[in-house]
Structure 1
Amino acid sequence: MQVTETLNEGLKRGYDIVITAAELEEKVNEKLVEAQPEIEMKGFRKGKVPMALLKKQFGQRLLGESMQEAVDGAMSKHFEDSGDRPALQPKVEMKNGEEWKEGDDVNVEMSYEALPEIPEVDLKSISLEKLVVKAADADVDEALANLAETAQDFKARRKGSKAKDGDQVVMDFVGKIDGEAFDGGAGEDFPLVLGSGQFIPGFEEQLVGVKAEEETDVTVSFPEDYQAEHLAGKEAVFSCTIKEVKEPVAAEINDELATKFGAEDLAALKTQVGERLEAEYAGASRQVQKRALLDALDAKVSFDLPPSLVDAEAGQIAHQLWHEENPEVEGHDHPEIKPTEEHTKLAERRVRLGLLLAELGQKAEVEVTDAEMTQAIMNQARQYPGQERQFFEFVQQNAQMQQQLRAPLFEDKVVDYVFELAEISDKEVSKDDLQKAVEALEDE
C-alpha cells in the first residue's frame, strides 16, 4: 500500500492511496481460508469445498469487503501516524472507479480539513466578576403575592352581577346534536373559569355577561380534528343553567397558604421563596459570568479555523435567524439563505470557542456521565406529555440527538472547570443591575 501527499495547504490535506491487486487478493484469500472450515456445499463435506470453487462463489463479494477494509485501514493508519484529526468526515473517492476491473490496483483519493493545533491558555490568568444578588424583603413579598394569585379562590359576586372573563361560572348543562343528547355532553354544578380554554373554542366566550339563575343556550361546532370522531365537525347546542357567578380572589398570605405549598408555616415559606429567588439570581449571574469567560478566552487565543466548520456554522446561524424573523414558515420550503459577513464572524467565534473548550475538556478528562445524560433526556421528554417513553427510546436510537443533548452538558462542565482555576471576585449588585446585565447579553 502506498500513500502519497497531494495537498498540504493551511488545514487542507489531500492524499492518494494505492492498494495493489496483490494486496487485495491476499486479503480475499485470508477471508476464504478463515471461512472454509464452516462452509457447506452440495457434493462436498463441510470444510472440504475446494478453494478455487469458494473463490468463484464468494470471491466478488469478499473482494468488495476487502477493498473497503483496506481503505479504512489505510485511513486509520494515516491518522494514527500523522496525528491529524479531521474536522469532518474525510471525502474518499476511487479515482479509477469506472475503469477498474478485478486484477487492477485500487487508486483512492482522500481529502479533509485537519483540526488545528490549539494553543495553551493560562486559565489562572483569567479574572472574572461574579454578580451576587441577595433576595430583598420586597422581592420575597412580591413572590408571595404571585403565589397567592396562583392559589386564588372564588367568591360569589353580588346578585345580578354579569360574569366577566376570568370569573368562575357554576352551572348545569346538557349538550345536544340535532336535538339528541350525546354521551359526555352533560354536567351538574360544573365550575368553569371563563377564558381558561377548558371547553371547546367559542363556548366560554358566549357565557361572558350571564347572570346567576339565568338560562342560556350556547351553540358551538366541534373541531374537525376532535378526538371523539362521532362529534368531530358537528354543531352542538348546550342548554346551560347558571347557578352562581364568582369572581377570583387571591388567597391570603398566611400559614394556610404556606401549607398549600408544602411549607410548615409562613416563615418557612418565606425562607423557601428567598432561597428560590437567590437560586434564580445565581442562574442569571452564571450566564453573565459565562459570557465574560468566553469573551476572555476568545481574546486570548487565535488559530486557523477549518473553513468547512465555519461555513456550516454560518449557514446554520443564518437559517435559524431567518426562521425567527419569518415564524410563519414552519418547513424548509423557502429561498436559499446566504450567510452575511456578520453571520460568518459570529460563526468563527463559535467554532474557535467550541474547539478550545473541547480541547480544554479533553485535557482535563471532563466527561458527561450516563446519569447526567439520562437526567437531560428526562428533562427534555417532559416537553412531550404522554409520549415520554417514545421520546426516550427515540434518543437512545439516535446518535445525533444524543450528541445534541450531550454537547451543552459537556460545555457547562468545562466552563465550571475553568471557573475553578480562574480568579473570581464577588460583586454584590441589585436585582435591577443583574437584569440589565442579562438583557445586555441578549442585545449582543
Structure 2
Amino acid sequence: MCVWRRLDLRGDAATVTKLSPVEIRRRLPRAALDVDVAVETVQPICDDIRDRGDAAVLEYTERFDQVRPAGLRVPAEALRRALDELDPAVRDALVEAIRRTRVVHRAQLREAVTVEVAPGTTVTEKWVPVDRVGLYVPGGRVAYPSSVVMNVVPAQEAGVGSLAVASPPQRDLSGPGGTPGPRDGLPHPVVLAACQLLEVDEVYSVGGAQAVAMFAYGTESCPPVDLVTGPGNVYVAAAKRLLRGIVGIDAEAGPTEVAILADHTADPAYVAADLIAQAEHDPLAACLLVSSSADLADAVEVELGKQVPATRHRERVEEALNGQGAIVLVDDVDAGLRVVDAWAAEHLEIQTENAAAVAARVRHAGAVFVGPYAPVPLGDYLAGSNHVLPTGATARHSSGLAVGAFQRQVHVVECTKEALAAVAPRIAALGAAEDLLAHVDAVEVRSQ
C-alpha cells in the first residue's frame, strides 16, 4: 500500500518565495547515500586490484556476484551468439535506439574555431577525443542494454579510438538440476548483444567497484583507460570518487529520480503511470509530484491505488513511493517551477497548460520532458537524448552524458614576431607584478 506524504507550500505561511532553494530541497524527500562510508569499504578493494590485477578482480567478482568467470574478457563467440539469439523485436528496437541516439549526439560535435585576438595572434579552440574509455553498464536487478547505447554512442561519435565495456557477470543455473549453464559468468545476453550491434568487442565480466578499479589501474587483461563513464550503485560511485584523478569520471550517479510539474490539465492516469515507471528502477528512487491542483493530486492518489497493485515490481515500487515519494501543493505553476528548479531533478516532466513555454523557463534538470506524450521512458530508450543524467540535485551544476564528456578542449596559440613585440611591454608589466621575471625574459629574448 502506498502512503504518500503531502507537503503544502500554498499561501502566505509557507509560500515558496520565502524559501531559498536549499530550504526547499531540505523539505523534499530524496534518498541519501553515504558515499564517504562506501569509500572506506572500496579502498582496500581498489588497492588490491592495483597490486594484484586480474587475480584480485576475479576473487572480488566471485565474492560479490557469487560467480567466477572463466576469464575477465568476454569471448568473441559469446558476443556473436548473444546477438544471433536476440529476440528480433528487441534487436529492432535497439537498432532504432542506436540510430536515434547517434543522430542526436552527432549534432553535438563542434568544429575547431580560430579567433584573431590581435593582428598576428590567433587562438584556435579544438576538441580532441580521449584515447581510451571504460564504459560501465550496471546489471543488478535488471539488464540495461539501453545503457550500452547511451555510453557507447557518444563515445563513438566523439571519435574515441578504444572503448571497453564492463558489466556484472550473471549466474546462469540453467543446467541439469540447477547446475551452471552455458552463460554462467557472462554479462546478461542482451547487454552482450547490444555491444555486438555497436561493434564493441572488448567487453569484461566485471561489476561494481572492481570494474572501476580495473579500468583505472589496468590489469593483465584490461589496459588502463583515461575516462570511466556510466551509472552504478553506491560502491561504483565511491570507487569513482576514490580514483578520480587517476582516471577521469563523468559523475557519481545516485538513485534515479523524477519530478512531475502538473496542473489541472494533466491526466492523473498518465502521472501515476510515470511515477510508477520511475519507482520500479530502485527502492531508493525519488518520485515527486508538484501540482497547483489539489483535485489532480487526489486523482493521482486514486490512480496509484489502482495501478500499483497491478504492476510487476509492486514491492519495489511501493518501497520507493513510500520512502521517497511526495506530493507538493503549490499556489500556481510559477511557484511549482521554483520548487522543481530547487530540487533539480534528474528527470523533469512538464504536464501543464502551455507546457513548452513552461519548460523553456526550467533552469535546473538533467532532462526535461514536455507534454503528455513525452514520458521519461521515451528518453530512457528512443528519444535519442541521453539517459545517463545528473542525480541528487547535481543538475544545478552538471550535465548529462554527451559527446563533450569524451573530448578535451585544447587551445592552440600562434603569434608572429611582430605581434609578440607589440604586446611585450604589457607582458613585462604583468610579469613584474607577479615577480615572475623569467617570464619577462622569455619574451624579451625574442626581440633582441
Q: Give the alignment's TM-score, normalised by structure 2.
A: 0.16
**Which protein has greater RCO, CA pairs closer than 8 Å, 6+ apart?**
2
Which has the greater radius of gyration? 1
